[in-house]
Structure 1
Amino acid sequence: MKRLLLSLVLVLPLLAGCTKKDNEIAIGEYDSMTGSEATFGLSSNKGVRLAIDEINAAGGVKGKKLALTAMDDQGKNEEAAAAVTRLITQNKVVAILGGVASGRSKAAAPIAQSKGVPFLSTGSTNPDVTKIGNFVFRVCFIDPFQGFVMAKFANENLKLKKVAILRDVKNDYSVGLADAFVQEFKKRGGEIVDDLSYQSGDIDFKAQLTQIRSKNPDGIYIPGYYTEVGLIAQQARQLGIKAPLMGGDGWDSDKLSEIGKDAINGNYYSNHYTTESTDPAVTEFIKKFKAKYNETPDALAALGYDAAKILAAAIERAHDLSGNAIRDELAKTKDFAGVTGKITLNENRDAVKSAVIIQVDGKNRKYVTTISP
């Protein structure tokens, strides 16, 4: 009941006034605003709403206001599919934003594709997402690049020779990053001393970590979500494992430090942007976000913001509000100056952009370096 009430609290304010009117353009968003990875969806939604508020304050798109309907997928694939179905059939949206988790986007995007409704994912990094069809796009980089980035960093910056892998075997995102890291690290002459698995929701990782400890790796790559990574970090240090831990953008949440405490400090993950950037676009975004929400925006908030801005620009350029017209303009996105970098959507509808390496220091996220495609 509490989850249902929270979902209604989140969605109802966005639904207010969102009935399609002649002076409005209906767009949809679905995200995980409750469930185990709720910080991802909540952050993405805040970024989307901030962008839409700015766009509407500046006159809207084609002289009309953007009317956002946001739905909570509760962190479940079937709910993501149901949300997108409702957005298209009931709310009559012209395009859909959202989808931080790759598994949920893989469940939801085929519906948008079949209906000819443009689908722009904020944070789904698994390569298969955009392979669903020509109406499916994303503003984030993909897993092979993110895996490449951390393998390069491990090899060139950390000088690691032997790495163990601990992957969430039920998570498309985690498996994709792990596969890409293994391929690139081996290509660079590194050795994978062990490759073990866990499942989302697990809380005891000591068996896997004990086995990894026996292999004495120089580092451990854990491309999972903060919910399990924080626990893994604690248990690794309890077992006397001192090797650096590495991961992907699934670590990017304040909850990581709450769960991992001091054990997560000093470890590294790849991410979409850094709050330490001096780029005026980034500093202005952070300032506006803090003013609206009284918190520092994470990468998912930045991706949500960029996605909404890119979609609005495509709708503005489109000769009408049909799915085909908006789709065609999204495909033309080139060198868009986003908060998460300069974004070009390639022939596969994936974003071509740089990644940054972040080091955890309590709730601070220290920028280490940028790695380009």
Structure 2
Amino acid sequence: MKKWFIVLFVLSSAFTLMANGSDEGGAKPIKLGGVWPLADITGEQASKAAQMAVEEINAAGGVLGRPLELTIIDSEFKPEKGAAALERLATVNQVDIFVGGMSSEEAMGPDAPWYFHLHPWDYNQGASYVEGWKALGTKYPQIKTKKWFLAYEDSPFGSASFDASHALFADMGDFDGDSFTSAAKGGGDYTAVLETAKASNPDIFLWAGFGADALPLMEQSKSIGFAPPLFVGAPPGWPSDFGESELAEG
């Protein structure tokens, strides 16, 4: 499953910024720099949520009496764009704190030994996955789970996710997969990966991409007659109107 990367520096670090003083006419703002891929629904919503949070915090008096100022740059799903964005935020905008990030492909360097992955809640996403799979097994006991196929977007993160999933599910049966270029990154033709999946005849078909892939994948699957017993999508976020489509019901 897609494991999306969030970089958050805790705002309590703002205590160390108080020594910076104030601008003439008011308190000096605490500058935040956010980098997200805005072409995907998750990046777009995350950036809007950050802006809303800044507005709400400022309306309540800011942090330590200082307003927050947020600058957002689009990474365009490109590592070099993400790196350039951070460089600009640090040197030109001179931000105090970095926020944001969605894909480790653009947020982490190769073989990075660490990353920050902080949440304001106990990490219950994994637990919800377990609950979801158990619910599916209870409702559809007739569906076998011996043959799996994972269609994953063609990035270092996607291929690494496939390798990890293959190792994880190897004892549960046959596990196969292939990559595709996400519509969020200029792709959108899933013919090759779907034909490969259809030939594999899996009990469970998983796809790990982005919200932009959801409906096109369903449409192209229907056009080639690919209808596995269980068709599971795992994007970081779904289109808001996905449930209104007839394809959402299979």
TM-score (norm 2): 0.70
Shift of 1:29: 0.9
Say which of 61, 64, 67 aligns to 1:62: 64
Segments of 5+ residues of structure 2 without an aligned counterpart are: 1-21
Number of the residue aligned with 1:300: none
Number of the residue aligned with 1:24: 29
Shift of 1:152: 4.6
Say which of 198, 206, 213 aligns to 1:228: 213
Segments of 5+ residues of structure 1 without an aligned counterpart are: 1-19, 111-127, 268-373
Whole-angstrom distance in 2 between the partners of 1:205 and 1:150: 30
Shift of 1:145: 4.8
Number of the residue aligned with 1:96: 98
The 8 Å contact of residues 178 and 223 in structure 1, kept in 2 or not, is answered as no
Number of the residue aligned with 2:238: 252
Deviations 1:171-197 (A, max 9, x none): 51x33443444333334x2332x3222
* Structure 1 residue ranges, 4+ long, deviating more than 6 angstroms after superposition: none
Number of the residue aligned with 1:43: 45
Partner SS, residue 50 of structure 1: helix
Q: Note the aligned Cα RMSD (angstroms).
A: 3.5
Whole-angstrom distance in 1 between the partners of 2:240 and 2:220: 19
Compared with structure 1, are the counterparts of its residues 176 and 251 closer, same or farther at alpha carbon in structure 2 (3 Å cutoff)?
farther
Number of the residue aligned with 1:347: none
Higher-Rg structure is 2
Deviations 1:270-296 (A, max 9, x none): xxxxxxxxxxxxxxxxxxxxxxxxxxx
Q: Percent identity?
A: 25
Count of matched residue pairs: 216
Partner SS, residue 69 of structure 2: strand
Partner SS, residue 95 of structure 2: coil
The 8 Å contact of residues 34 and 73 in structure 2, kept in 1 or not, is answered as yes
Number of the residue aligned with 1:53: 55
Number of the residue aligned with 1:242: 227
Does 1:71 pair with 2:78? no
The 8 Å contact of residues 24 and 64 in structure 1, kept in 2 or not, is answered as yes
Whole-angstrom distance in 2 between the partners of 1:53 and 1:138: 22
User: How do residues 130-141 of structure 1 correspond to structure 2 at under 5 angstroms?
Assistant: 131-132=113-114, 136-139=116-119
Shift of 1:76: 2.2
Say which of 165, 185, 188 aligns to 2:169: 185
TM-score (norm 1): 0.49
Number of the residue aligned with 1:288: none
Whole-angstrom distance in 2 between the partners of 1:170 and 1:195: 14
Whole-angstrom distance in 1 between the partners of 2:167 and 2:128: 9
Shift of 1:206: 2.6
Deviations 1:22-43 (A, max 9, x none): 432111111222xxx3433221
The 8 Å contact of residues 167 and 223 in structure 1, kept in 2 or not, is answered as yes
Deviations 1:137-179 (A, max 9, x none): 443999x95997599559845554122121223251x334434
Compared with structure 1, are the counterparts of its residues 176 and 229 closer, same or farther at alpha carbon in structure 2 (3 Å cutoff)?
farther
| Code of the aligned partner of 2:202 | P
Compared with structure 1, are the counterparts of its residues 45 and 204 closer, same or farther at alpha carbon in structure 2 (3 Å cutoff)?
closer
Number of the residue aligned with 2:249: 266
Compared with structure 1, are the counterparts of its residues 31 and 106 closer, same or farther at alpha carbon in structure 2 (3 Å cutoff)?
same
